[in-house]
Amino acid sequence: MKSKQYITVLALCGGMMLPALANAQTDMKAKESKYYSITDVPIPDSVKLEVGGLAFTPDDKLGVATRHGEIWLITDPYQKKSKQPTYTRFAYGMHETLGLAWHEGSFYTTQRSELTKVTDTDNDGKADRFQTIASWPLSGNYHEYSYGPLFLPNGDMIVTLNLSWIGRGASLAKWRGWMMRIKPDGAMQPYAGGMRSPAGFGLSESGDIFFAENQGDWIGSGRITQLDYGDFAGHPAGLRWSGEYGSPIKLTPEQFPDSIGILHDFAKKTPHFKEPSVWFPHTLMGISTSGVLSIDSDAFGPFKGQLLVGDQGHSKVMRAFIEKVKGKYQGACFPFLEGFSSGVLRMVWGSDHSLFVGMTSRGWASTGPKLYGLQRVNFKGVTPFEIKAMRAQSNGFELEFTMPVNKKQAADPGLYSITGFTYLYHKTYGSPIINQQSCPVVKSEVSEDGRRVRIYVEGLREGYIHELHVNGLKSQSGLQLLHNVGYYTLNAIPAGAGPACAISPRSLAAAGDANSRHACGSDPTKSVSVQPPGWTKPDVVLQVGTKPGLKFDVTELEVTAGSKVKLVFNNNDDMLHNMVITNPGKGDAVGKLAMEMGLSGSQQAYVPASKDVLFNTCLLEPGTSQTIYFIAPKTPGNYPYVCTFPGHYAVMKGVLKVKSKK
Amino acid sequence: MSVQSFLLYSTLLLSLAACSSGTKEAPPIESLPMDSINLDNLDAFATPANGWQVAGNLYMNRQQPHQVQVKEGKGILVFNGPGNGELSTKWTHGDMDLELDFMLSPDADAAILFQGKYPLQLKDSWLKDSVTAADCGGIEEHAPALNACKAPGLWQHLEVKFKAERTGHGVIDAGFATVILNGRVVQQQPDLAAFAQDTLLKQTKMPGALRLVVNSGPVAFRNIRYKTYSDARASFAGLHYRVYKGVYKNHDTLKLMLPVRSGNTDSLTYRVGDKRAHLLLEGKLQLPVEGHYVFSVRGGGPVRLMIDGNVIADNGGTRDFLRPFYGDTLLKAGPHDFQVSYANYDECLVVEYEGPHIPVTALTTPASERLVEASPQMEYPVKGTAVIQRGFMEHGNEVDPYSMAVGAPGGINYAYDMVTYSPLMAWHGRYIDVAEMWHERGEKQLARPLGAPLQLPGIPCIAELPDKNAAWPDTMRVDSSSYTNRGYKLLPSGLPVFFYTLHQWSVEDYLHPRADGKGLNRDVTVTGSNSGDNAKAWWLLGSGGLIEKLPDGSYAVDDKHYYIETKDKPEIVESKGQYRLVLPLQAGKTMNIHYSITW
């Protein structure tokens, strides 16, 4: 689960963005419903089914652990015999049970401070024996949620322990921020570290553990990471216990300066550090990853072996394709199903390969408006036209589709766009998208059967997320892609076995143009970075830098009306910034327009196409600078300048005073 | 000295100063000490009537009103006379705080009369299902909010904040701002507390003595402590504010900055500043009398209070606006330089002070405080069977995150620690409120008892010791417990039976209501396997302060905090003023231990 700050953010953006999001969702939900149905499993009014865990019993009853510390047993959740399944309270009185498993005649569930085995010894349908298998300390902080267990094939159990929250993620009690392995006899051992809010984890088809992480401090965006014994997943707070007996990790919190930069570079030189396998870009995919479930059959559509990942805040289920490159997992995430009734936390397979989705949103709002819910997803047997898989190649990707594509159309590389970006790895909550750069797709080859398209891409960067957009591609049968976007986390580029690809100078140049145009707003005349011909020298040179805490280092500049101005903007902060000079009184208005640009914002340096924008720099990465040239306005007055990166304009601003000529 | 080394030097000085104030041996006091009535003799009282005496100890039979044994000595005030009795202090009072312990015999009926005429009832109301204004904790026309009474013959604790009648713009009647009986608020008149802070209201000059009136005894008192208040208050002169851009953890940063605006103000509030801006408020604090003063600050963001250039209180930069930070100092009457620096993160700034005969009073305006929305009530009902619920619970001054609350029909409840496997509390009446767990995010995760809880030690009840006088273990590790095979079974009644094993000793621990409703029975079964290592172990029935075996055969535990009754033959072990009631365990045998606790 996430922290307070998340709610604040949601509340801030809520009024503006959610209605639009809701409309978009309704459309998409309708399209998705041709292939997958989402139906309610009815819940009696007397039951507050705030789902914390789901597990089927061998007799096909669905066990549901709740945040009130109960375990409910639902008979016939498939509604085969009756529209209203029967609910029986099997157990109660525990403390916020956020995980559930069935193993050899008992339920196992995680309470805040312990792993508990819950048994009905007299077979009257109600639990009467509660045995503590293992326990761990709590500080009494509400954010110390505990999740699990996940049973491993050998009978060992995995639980995860959320960090405490004190305005930042902190490990106030031993092993908070860790994944623990517990033997059947209760012996407990730290398994992996570096977790912040590890609410969801599961096994892949190959039996590897994947856990889902939520955006927050040190975590730029949601993601899933495969963890082996001794791995460190990125949040340093829990490392204060790495010196304790049993810790397999030898890192200490002191090895993590507040602002590190690029996670990939730091991970490479840091022992134990396991990079995220698949990033789920914040707001582009979801906002709070939750349960992880492997698709274990072909009965749920053409995605066997892939992972489903829930999203609590966006009430959706996403899909991840994973592959091993250079010995480590990476892969791509894709949208899958949205429009669930509450915040998606848990998923489990029914015996008929339908998917049961358990939800709660108390204290953590979700786009699905209900406080809690249980829904079931059935595959309708009709294959959707989807990007099934996205595989890294030495110089591009192989896209696999769920059905043959229009081969002629698919051979056009212009159909595919690839953009690389990453996040800052720092103590600050969340991260902007940084180092965004589009990568030219120079060639595409379609396989004989039409199911695979090999795209050749320039400018791929190791350690970066690569966004794929497929624009207008149809299947052989004329269907549009159900979802045409995916995000590949390219931790490693496979060794260069692929054919060298010939790049025509023209395609590179075109891509290069597109790059510069996108990165500096829509009107290049407002962002001239070469001294205009005819100027012998500027009348005035202005220097503006940045200061930490969203500030320009100069908040007042002065020029004469109509003078030739050379402006050097130096971004020496640790975030992305631009500098936009506006018409008098329009600084805030332009800043607001930039926030409303949505996803196109980052493509256009968050510079809105507005007549009130007079001049602007590009969006500058930390530690870079740019010079622009312009003629100062003819009309004297106070011309505001702002950084229009979303959220910055309210505080990051200054005034360009234009004086009349003497 | 170069500029750089000068800066370094001053930083060093600052951090040294911070260290020395931060590592004081004793934490700062949060409240001025109370005065106490000397109970070496009856000299504190005007013309003592017959039937009153001082004593060193006493025993009141729990069932028989006049079976009282008084032991010579001092420190306890006893009325053991026939008929009724009355005692008045020599001093008089207006506003006052009072704290004391009292003991009632069965059916005893007494009252404390504030200002000589405003009664607070002290009456044996133990186990009454419904209480009226005449019952313990009642005041004129107002029944106590709950029955917080303990059994006769036990010490009960009372805390009162009394407000005298006031006039000014309208008359405010005298009354009780709060009455806390055995840890639970039984009376609360918040208006009185607010009006008492209103400087426009003048206090009527008709102080009276504090009177103890007994209609039927015996009744005893001890630890009578109080604070009386005058009407004098501190005031400000020349209050001035400056607003700085930005918010700074280090308040001295402001010295390097120019304010963005400044001006005079007549009141101390964050509202003269800006959101997300640093505010400096300065002026003269005019004190009415010389003496010991305690200040507190609390704020949503860094707050520092300085008086005469000295840091008095500092919240260390926290944004926890509910947590006060204290500092105390001796100050002369007259004007003092006063400065509050506040980095306004979350719009809450509260500065309070307490002085000689001056109650805790806010220097900031009411609008400067950020109010917290009270969570709604969510009472967990107890119907036909007993119920359990795990959660965090307050135990003493700490939060125990491993608690289970158990509620049985008939209004007998207890809480149990699932790490030490030991009772934490027991209370009569309603079970728990779970709003702080189940409303919204439940940031406190607290299950709150709805009765007055008897606090129990919560330490392990079984220990292997070399001999009975060895130190008893008072904790248990959470992540590598010495207990194995631990948990609980639920009986058809809904009550849990806890089980665990310590080395060779297997324990079952079952607490259930006494048939007569007067407390809890505890049935413990310990099976000691023959491990051959001759380990010696004991079971702990009770512990704490003085444990006495009473004439009726029961035990009064922890200085007459509660009773234990048993047919077993436990032993009282004393070490350094701490007492234990223990039974030795035997290897190779199953022992059944039965006792009850009554409070």
- Distance linking the first and last C-alpha atoms of chain B: 71
Task: Give pLDDT tens digits for B384-414.
Answer: 999 999 999 999 999 999 999 999 999 999 9
Q: Which residue has the tokens 């580029």?
A: A493
SS3 A370: coil
Residue of A67, A111, A364 lying closest to B390 (CB–CB): A111
Task: Give pLDDT tens digits for A132-141.
Answer: 999 999 999 9
> Is residue A240 less than 8 Å (CB to CB) from chain B?
no
Yes or no: say if A521 and A605 are a contact pair by the CB < 8 Å rule.
yes
CA dist A491 and B79 (Å) reads 84
Yes or no: say if A225 and A277 are a contact pair by the CB < 8 Å rule.
yes
ipTM exceeds 0.85, yes or no? yes
Question: Is the peptide bond prior to A149 cis by the omega test (within 30 degrees of 0)?
Answer: yes
Q: Which residue has the tokens 């509390």?
A: B425
> Which pLDDT value is given to residue B197?
66
> Which pLDDT value is given to residue A152?
98
CA dist A374 and A62 (Å) reads 11
Judged against a pLDDT cut of 80, whether residue B201 lies above it is answered with no
Strand order in the sheet with A441-446: A387-393, A396-401, A452-457, A441-446
Judged against a pLDDT cut of 70, whether residue A116 lies above it is answered with yes
> Which pLDDT value is given to residue A524?
84
- Of the candidates A580, A579, A560, the one whose C-alpha atom is nearest the C-alpha of residue A633 is A560
SS3 A527: coil
Helix (H) or strand (E) holding B17: helix B3-22
CA dist B275 and B264 (Å) reads 19
pLDDT band at residue A499 under the 50/70/90 scheme: very low
Yes or no: say if B481 and A135 are a contact pair by the CB < 8 Å rule.
yes
> Is residue B468 less than 8 Å (CB to CB) from chain A?
no
> Which pLDDT value is given to residue B196?
64
Task: Give pLDDT tens digits for A359-398.
Answer: 999 988 888 999 999 999 999 999 999 999 999 999 999 9
Least confident of A56-65, A587-596, B334-343: A587-596
> Which pLDDT value is given to residue A520?
79
> Is residue A112 less than 8 Å (CB to CB) from chain B?
yes
Least confident of A77-86, A594-603, B421-430: A594-603
Its pTM stands at: 0.83
Q: How far is A472 from chain B, CA to nearest CA, in Å?
A: 44
Task: Give pLDDT tens digits for B266-315.
Answer: 999 999 999 889 999 999 999 999 999 999 999 999 999 999 999 999 99
- Of the candidates B587, B546, B595, the one whose C-alpha atom is nearest the C-alpha of residue B566 is B595
Helix (H) or strand (E) holding B540: strand B537-544
Give chain A's length. 662
Provide the sign of the torsion angle of the four alpha carbons B186, B190, B192, B193, taken in this order. Answer: positive
> Apex CA B80: angle with CA B156 and CA B84, to 5°?
95
> Is residue A533 less than 8 Å (CB to CB) from chain B?
no
Give the phi and the psi of residue B16 in degrees, each rounded to 5: -65, -45
Among B395, B418, B436, the strongest candidate for a mutation testing the A interface, having the largest count of A CBs within 10 A, is B418
CA dist B420 and B387 (Å) reads 21
Q: Which residue has the tokens 């009975």?
A: B468
Alpha helices (H) in A495-640, listed in sequence order: 505-519, 587-595
Among A66, A114, A181, A360, the strongest candidate for a mutation testing the B interface, having the largest count of B CBs within 10 A, is A114
> Which pLDDT value is given to residue B506?
97
Judged against a pLDDT cut of 50, whether residue B134 lies above it is answered with yes
Least confident of A65-69, A624-628, A657-661, B159-163: A624-628
> Apex CA B328: angle with CA B327 and CA B333, to 5°?
135
Yes or no: say if B498 and A137 are a contact pair by the CB < 8 Å rule.
no
Measure Cα distances from A653 to A548, A573, A610 in Å. 13, 15, 18
Question: What is residue A575's DSSP assignment?
Answer: S
**What residues in A contact B437, CB-CB < 8 Å?**
96
- Over residues A344-373, the mean pLDDT reads 95
Give chain B's length. 599
Judged against a pLDDT cut of 70, whether residue B210 lies above it is answered with yes
Measure Cα distances from B112 to A400, B211, B313 in Å. 86, 6, 37
Measure Cα distances from A227 to A75, A308, A328 in Å. 35, 17, 10
Question: Is the peptide bond prior to B218 cis by the omega test (within 30 degrees of 0)?
Answer: yes
Judged against a pLDDT cut of 60, whether residue A498 lies above it is answered with no
Q: What is the DSSP string of B324-389?
A: -EEEEEEE-SEEEEEEEEEE-SSS-EEEEEEETTEEEEESB-GGGSPPPPPPPP-EE---SS-EEE
Helix (H) or strand (E) holding B191: helix B190-196
> Which pLDDT value is given to residue A605?
81
> Which pLDDT value is given to residue B10?
39
Yes or no: say if B268 and B351 are a contact pair by the CB < 8 Å rule.
yes
Specify which of A536-540, A547-551, B491-495, B533-537 reaches the highest per-range mean pLDDT: B491-495
CA dist B97 and A525 (Å) reads 76
Which comes out higher in pLDDT, residue B282 or A509?
B282
Beta-carbon separation of A167 and B319 below 8 A = yes
Q: What is the DSSP string of B246-257?
A: B--SSGGGGGGS
Judged against a pLDDT cut of 60, whether residue B514 lies above it is answered with yes
- Over residues B167-196, the mean pLDDT reads 85
> Is residue B390 less than 8 Å (CB to CB) from chain A?
yes
Residue pairs between chains A and B whose CB atoms are closer than 8 Å: 84
- Over residues A498-517, the mean pLDDT reads 35
Pairing relationship of beta strands A556-560 and A653-659 according to DSSP bridges = parallel
Among B260, B406, B431, B441, the strongest candidate for a mutation testing the A interface, having the largest count of A CBs within 10 A, is B441
CA dist B256 and B480 (Å) reads 53
- Report, in angstroms and rounded to the nearest whole number, the Rg of chain B calculated over CA atoms: 28
Among B480, B484, B493, the strongest candidate for a mutation testing the A interface, having the largest count of A CBs within 10 A, is B480
- Of the candidates A352, A342, A223, the one whose C-alpha atom is nearest the C-alpha of residue A292 is A223
Strand order in the sheet with B45-46: B45-46, B85-93, B208-216, B109-114, B118-123
Q: How far is A128 from chain B, CA to nearest CA, in Å?
A: 5
pLDDT band at residue A14 under the 50/70/90 scheme: very low
Measure Cα distances from B25 to A197, B20, B29, B397 in Å. 38, 10, 12, 20
Beta-carbon separation of B399 and A111 below 8 A = no
Judged against a pLDDT cut of 90, whether residue B165 lies above it is answered with no
Beta-carbon separation of A93 and B390 below 8 A = yes
> Is residue A175 less than 8 Å (CB to CB) from chain B?
yes
CA dist A313 and A221 (Å) reads 13
Q: Which residue has the tokens 């006031």?
A: B166
Helix (H) or strand (E) holding A28: helix A4-32
Lookup: tokens for A302: 């053409």
CA dist B81 and B158 (Å) reads 23
Yes or no: say if A181 and A191 are a contact pair by the CB < 8 Å rule.
yes
Question: What is residue B172's DSSP assignment?
Answer: B
CA dist A452 and A397 (Å) reads 10
Burial of B548 (C-beta count, 10 Å sphere; 0-12/13-18/19+): middle
Query: B114-127: string of b/e by CB count within 10 Å (b at 16+)?
Result: bbeebbbbbbbbbb
> Which pLDDT value is given to residue B13?
39
pLDDT band at residue A521 under the 50/70/90 scheme: confident
3-state secondary structure A618-657: CCECCCEEEEEEEECCCCCEEEEEECCCCCCCCCCEEEEE
pLDDT band at residue A530 under the 50/70/90 scheme: confident
